[in-house]
Amino acid sequence: MRISIVTMFPEFFASPLGVGIVGRAMEAGLVEVDLVDLRRHGLGRHRQLDDSPFGGGPGMVMMIEPLAAALDPLQGTHRVLLTPAGPPVTQATLDRWALVDALTLVCGRYEGVDQRVSDHFVEEEASLGDFVLAGGEAAALAVVEGVARLVPGVVGNPDSVESESFRTGLLEEPHYTRPAEFRGWGVPEVLLSGDHAKVEEWRLRMRMARTRERRPDLLDGGFAQGGDPG
Ligand code: JCQ
């Protein structure tokens, strides 16, 4: 899979792409990341990328020309603009993106991006959550990692991808490992009992209790809960 990232800050990605699961996936040739430096397409002697908004108001807007120049050669890839104004990314969204041969992530900055970029140069917008970052770079990195681990061969044991929280529709139960007691803090007795059926029953009860308490929206089961309209 090839992932192109359109960004004003290609240096942002150097060290995170070199380590962990993503680093290994890239070394193995399973994932290729291509950093597209927006500045190369900036206008004029100052390589300008942004301008003040029509209609007035604070802040700056990313101009269409540099983004069009960066995105024209990426036609035919699945292009995503990362913005807090987009529909939420869920595990289902990452499942869908992991199936494409070529994914493009566009990192927005400033107050926003000229609407015509969204209208004519990307297939969809997407948000990582209801918060505002300085730019889409950290969001793009999160998407690269979330998608890379779904590419066949990247994660050693595919069962770990199958069993994880957002596929069962429940949050994960608490986990424990040695020592069985630390500073007087023990672990739930059932986990030491050797009774596998009881352990599984306990895990399911904990997943349901946690989900009810922390993420009741996941249990409502209605539209937009873990869904992905794309
Ligand atoms: C992404 N959740 C938050 C900030 C404008 C395209 O316009 C903008 C992009 C950003 C950066 O992305 C985020 C974000 N998912 O803040 C403002």
- Return the ligand 1 atom nearest residue 132 CA: 16
CB-based contact 34:69 (threshold 8 Å): no
Ligand 1: which residues within 6 Å by Cβ? 81-84, 108, 112-113, 127-129, 131-133, 135-136, 139
186: Cα within 13 Å, side-chain hemisphere = 5
Q: How many angstroms from the chain centroid is the CA of residue 65?
A: 27
User: pTM of the full predicted structure?
Assistant: 0.95
Q: From first to last of its 230 residues, what are the pLDDT tens digits of the chain?
A: 999 999 999 999 999 999 999 999 999 999 999 999 999 999 999 999 999 999 999 999 999 999 999 999 999 999 999 999 999 999 999 999 999 999 999 999 878 999 999 999 999 999 999 999 999 999 999 999 999 999 999 998 888 787 776 777 999 999 999 999 999 999 999 999 999 999 999 999 999 999 999 999 999 875 555 668 77
CB-based contact 39:8 (threshold 8 Å): yes
Domain boundaries, the chain: 2-148, 165-219
What distance in Å separates the CA atoms of residue 176 and residue 188, rounded to the nearest whole number? Answer: 9
CATH class of 2-148: alpha beta
Q: Do domains 2-148 and 165-219 have the same CATH topology?
A: no
CATH of domain 165-219: 1.10.1270.20
Is 53 exposed, middle or buried, given 0-12, 13-18 or 19+ CB atoms closer than 10 A?
middle
- The residue contributing the CA closest to ligand 1 atom 7 is 112
